[in-house]
């Protein structure tokens, strides 16, 4: 059975203090419906990816809440998996279509973070960590700093090379009107920014953000009759690892990403070198450096160095990563990120990404990670032109 994306939409990401979660959901959902050429009455179910609403806003029943905005009281449910909530919501939506339960569904990713105090957000995000990590006072910048230090020592990587991740993604973000940060930065800017958790600095870290993204997926055997540019989902794979970082086999690779991506490649017959565009979960600069290695794009120990040399930069590389600006420049409203990635790849494969368009893109990959790698979701998409 083929699963196709009919269309998608994102709100702007950023500090959207004057926009409510309902407004964000409505904009994303109806933008996706319009982009898909279908009406709300054709939607049979709603899957919502969200992490923090129950913790920060004491509102957990998001399925029913946003079904109200859809205007149709269809089966609706929230899916949570830390920062991979969006990707997991899509995985569940796909499986529901494959099971024949529904034919057409909406998948929404949404998060409203900036209305809350930074301490509350930090504590909320650490719900994705282990008890031991929380008791030790660890935060995710601290955990990823440990990963970065281990990686830099093992592979002789400099802080300047690691800064190349943020430089690339801010360049791409400068081309994206929906991005939270639309300005170019330099390695010197990164190096001079405030240290958050050594060796990670402010400009190595993705920001707290608000935003929503939605897509419409269908199992209709003739999606072209609905939209003239459907995009096929070739693979949707999920893998997990230990919740605690200290229980891992390695600090310099995420086993969940390796397993999920290898399963996706095996089931589709696609090789890493076939991918032309990828949205990477760069919650911190070190995360993308390791991800391009775990996904098979770079050799072990070469991820940061390859990125800093322009291997994955628009117009320069054979595989372009994070043309949206990634989490770093586009913003990271955690529940929305996984769906935003899918919208970006869909636009790239349709050839409608504007200034950030990857030339002749036919195969794309989305890499969505929860916590410090406890869960990873990999999707591979192909244009169906």
205 is catalytic: no
**Tokens read off for 278:** 């990828």
Closest to 88 in 3D by CA, of 218, 260, 242:
260
Our measurement of the distance from residue 106's CA atom to the centroid of its chain's CA atoms, rounded to an integer in Å, reads 17
* pLDDT at residue 385, as a whole number: 63
Output the pTM of the full model: 0.98
Catalytic residue, from 227, 332, 367, 379: name it.
332
Q: Which residues of the chain have pLDDT under 70?
A: 385
Which single residue is written with the structure tokens 């608000």? Answer: 210
Q: Which of the 8 DSSP states describes residue 100? A: T
Rg (CA), the chain: 19
Which single residue is written with the structure tokens 């930069």? Answer: 313
Q: Do domains 3-117+208-225 and 136-206+234-383 have the same CATH topology?
A: yes
Closest to 106 in 3D by CA, of 119, 127, 92:
92
**Tokens read off for 148:** 């970065």
Q: Are 206 and 1 in contact (CB under 8 A)?
A: no
332 is catalytic: yes
Q: Which CATH class is domain 136-206+234-383?
A: alpha beta
- What are the strands of the beta sheet with 375-383, ordered from one edge? 76-79, 45-49, 104-112, 210-218, 3-10, 231-240, 375-383, 363-370, 277-279, 320-321
Residues with Cβ within 8 Å of 53's Cβ and at least 6 positions away in sequence, in order, are 21, 59, 60, 62, 110, 111, 112, 335
**Dist. CA 67–CA 25, nearest whole Å:** 10
CA angle 28, 239, 205 (to 5 degrees): 60
What DSSP string runs through 245-310? Answer: GGGSS-SSS-HHHHHHHHHHHHHHT--GGG--EEE---SBHHHHHHHHHHTTSS-TT-HHHHHHTT
pLDDT tens-digit map of 239-269 = 999 999 999 999 999 999 999 999 999 999 9
Superfamily of domain 3-117+208-225, CATH level 4: Thiolase/Chalcone synthase (3.40.47.10)
Instruction: Spell out the domain ranges in the chain.
Output: 3-117+208-225, 136-206+234-383
Residues with Cβ within 8 Å of 335's Cβ and at least 6 positions away in sequence, in order, are 48, 49, 50, 51, 52, 53, 80, 85, 86, 109, 110, 111
**Tokens read off for 79:** 């899916």
Closest to 383 in 3D by CA, of 217, 213, 226, 233:
233
Catalytic residue, from 83, 205, 283, 330: name it.
83
Phi first, then psi, for residue 111 (nearest 5°) are -155, 140
């Amino acid at each position: 059975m083929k699963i196709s994306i009919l269309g998608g939409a994102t709100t702007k990401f950023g500090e959207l203090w004057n926009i409510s979660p309902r407004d964000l959901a409505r904009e994303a959902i109806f933008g996706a419906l319009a982009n898909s050429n279908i009406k709300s009455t054709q939607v049979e179910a709603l899957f919502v990816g969200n992490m923090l609403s129950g913790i920060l806003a004491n509102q957990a029943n998001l399925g029913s809440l946003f079904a109200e905005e859809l205007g149709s009281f269809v089966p609706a449910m929230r899916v949570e998996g830390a920062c991979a909530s969006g990707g997991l919501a899509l995985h569940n939506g796909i499986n529901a279509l494959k099971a024949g339960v529904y034919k057409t569904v909406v998948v929404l990713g949404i998060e409203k973070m900036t209305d809350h105090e930074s301490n509350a957000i930090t504590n909320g995000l650490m719900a994705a960590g282990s008890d031991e990590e929380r008791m030790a006072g660890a935060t995710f910048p601290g955990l990823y700093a440990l990963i970065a230090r281990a990686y830099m020592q093992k592979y002789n990587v400099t802080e300047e090379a690691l800064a190349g991740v943020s430089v690339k993604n801010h360049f791409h973000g400068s081309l994206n009107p929906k991005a939270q940060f639309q300005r170019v930065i330099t390695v010197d800017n990164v190096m001079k920014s405030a240290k958050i958790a050594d060796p990670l600095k402010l400009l190595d870290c993705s920001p707290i953000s608000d935003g929503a993204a939605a897509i419409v997926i269908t199992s209709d055997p003739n999606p072209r009759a609905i939209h003239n540019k459907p995009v096929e989902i070739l693979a949707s794979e999920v893998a997990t690892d230990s919740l605690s970082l200290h229980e891992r086999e390695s600090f310099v690779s995420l086993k969940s990403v390796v397993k999920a991506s290898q399963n996706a490649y095996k089931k589709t017959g696609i090789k890493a070198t076939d991918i032309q565009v990828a949205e990477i979960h760069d919650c911190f600069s070190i995360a993308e450096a390791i991800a391009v290695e775990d996904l098979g794009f770079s050799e072990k120990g070469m991820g940061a160095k390859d990125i800093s040399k322009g291997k994955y930069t628009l117009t320069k590389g054979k595989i372009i990563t994070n043309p949206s600006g990634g989490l770093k420049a586009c913003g990271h409203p955690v529940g929305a990120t996984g769906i935003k990635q899918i919208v970006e790849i869909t636009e790239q494969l349709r050839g409608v990404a504007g200034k950030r368009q990857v030339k002749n893109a036919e195969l794309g990959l989305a890499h969505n990670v929860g916590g410090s790698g406890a869960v990873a979701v990999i999707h591979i998409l192909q244009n169906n032109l």
